[in-house]
Structure 1
Amino acid sequence: MKDFKIYIGIASALLLVYLIAQYNKPNPVNWTNTLYYNDKIPFGTFVLYNQLNDLFPDAGVIRTNQSAYSVFSDTTMMPGNYLIIANNLELNKEDYTAMVKYISAGNSVFISAFDWGGMVTDTLKLNLNNEFGKKSVGVNFSNPKLKRAENYVFDKHLTDQYFKKFDTTRATVIGENSLGHANFISYTFGKGKLFLFANPQVFTNYSLLKPQSADYAEKALSYLPEDAENVYWDQYQNHDIPTDESPMRVFFQHAALQWAYYLALASMLLFVVYEIKRRQRIIPIVEPLKNSTLEFVTVVGRVYYEQRDNANIAAKKILYFSDHLRTAFNLKSAGYNHEFISLLANKTGIDLLFAGELVRHINYLLPQKHITDHELIVLNQLIEKFYIQSGSHGK
């Protein structure tokens, strides 16, 4: 009995140590491109948002959560700099007209996004592309006072995107990459300016915590007037507005539907209680046939896992995914470029923002020779999410 108590004590102590270790284990890094002002993950914009008062010391920082038309048409809106850093930009005709009117009054608007659409691209004739397969694409400024002797170089392909086409008769190129493609342009409207920047990840926490990257971002934002009275941070375009996405929100917004929901639950509970008594004999358990295919897959998976060749696994998953796109959607993936993102979203019915995230992650992994477990897991999660959103399943 005494020995049994000793064993119980040792087991309890080991369990306690395990629970403490699990509780203090660091969480895996979240590499999602949120660009959310309150996110401290690598690709959030917490650092930039909290440094706005240092960049514009005399300005008040104000967040906006309405459409561009509602914001710019508000007669109480004060002069200043307006920042839009978002995954997806979509301004309609009314939004664009109101924004141009605001700029013409002597204000500045700075926009940086991955996917551009709506009146901005149509009116200014914008078309974006990526330097796919290129390594170490540097960027620099056109202004000799800001231009550095050596290009600014960012890892993780943060500066791959550029403006392939734009209205050269109206635009001024103020930044280019090392291949001579414009990534930073400006337009003049009346007394103000519109700045368009093709690389939003430059302003994320991951980038700004490095001295070189922070210097480049600071110079890019230096084109905005430093003595502005206000700095507006747009939440609407990046969908940073918390919303209730519960499927039951419609019921709880109306009293009649809410009571109907409660009555339905009560009726179902009464039915279950009434029918809880078994009406038929116990059905005997029939052992399912042994699935030898599953054992084979398990063995093959264990071999790959033991070799730890993540790059090989990722290449096969991407090849398998490309074959699925070709057979299920007749979608050829000769090149995962910007046009392919829109084509992928239109043909499969998935969200455009998610399509961009999936393609960018594939483009990031393709040239890599060494891939971490986390990067491989993210690839698998994105492909599985694609199957769910598109309503298709891998072969």
Structure 2
Amino acid sequence: MENETINDSMEGLLADYDVKRIKQGDILKGKVIDVNDKEVSVNINYAFDGLITKEELTYDDTNPLDVVKKDDELDVYVISPNDGEGYVLLSRVRALEVTEKENIKSAFENEEIISVKVKEVVKGGVVAYYGGIRVFIPGSQISRERVELETVVGKVLEVKIIELDFRNRKVVASRRVIEEKEYEKNKKEAWAKVKSGEKRSGVVTRIAKFGAFVDIGGIEGLIHLNDLSWERVHKAEDVVNVGDKVEVFVGEVDRDRERLALVLKDVEKEPWKVHGDSIKDGEIFDGTVTRLASFGAFVEVLPGVEGLVHISEITDENITKPADVLKTGQKVKVKVLNVDRENKKLSLSIKDADEKSKEYLQYNDQEEGISLGELFKDFKFE
């Protein structure tokens, strides 16, 4: 009887207020008027204030004082228009479920970015939450780079929804699609700015048989083996390793095919620039055979400077190919026949250098047995 009296008085109060009736399931705008550690009182512009219990405030057991404060505005879900004690029973979490679903649906349809918090690693990826909505991020969609899944647990990630099926509770997101778009944008800008001849800082990303790839800030270029050093390089690992920070010069730029040639060797230390003026016709060098061809042998006489010994200049003997008497890596004496500084070419002779050596030895043989005292016996020192 007492409850009936209360209900009757409420009905009368509502009639006096001339307000639109509310019903279970409605989502209203509310303003916090009081908070304690058990519940939150909310003004919903209705005849009665609303009440949100601790359990209906958040998805976890958080103290209401840590969630909201007086005058905060929030969406609320009507659980019951009358709790029997003069309050409208409300839920924040149920309102969030509705609005969060609407937000995710809108983000999916409009390809918008949302933020989710990663909770745990599961088979095939990680589970994150957008409020109270479970979101699965496959391992392949965490990043465009290789990432250990454990390192993202507890982090807030910006993602895009790539699959959505609320009926089957399937919400799939990707961080990678965002990174790919940003990468392509940065790459396009980088290709527009890069210029041949400029010096850039970069990081070695890959090693190949023919050279090393370097990222110079959004785009990747190749340093061919020949451009790693002025000296002969047999494998890139002899000069650089993945992760090395390097200073490179930009060579040929092919924007249409997105190909970039880079040079690691310092142009100021180009061997011909360093040694070219010191090489004279007729000079004898101790050299090393670097390559053999059908027409002759290439011999390095100074670091990075090599010349050609034509097959006719190897020996006076009749040979069909340089490999008959020479091998790569062999040490030989050579004589400079001609210096072409403009085209950076040397003509060398092994047989002429050998003849000069024989003349020197012959002279020593003739003087064999003569002491220094005998040679200078008629010389008077003053």
TM-score by length of 1: 0.15
Which has more radius of gyration?
2
Report which of the two has the higher share of helix. Answer: 1
Query: Larger relative contact order (C-alpha < 8 A, sep ≥ 6)?
Result: 1
Q: TM-score, normalised by structure 2?
A: 0.15
More strand per residue: 1 or 2? 2
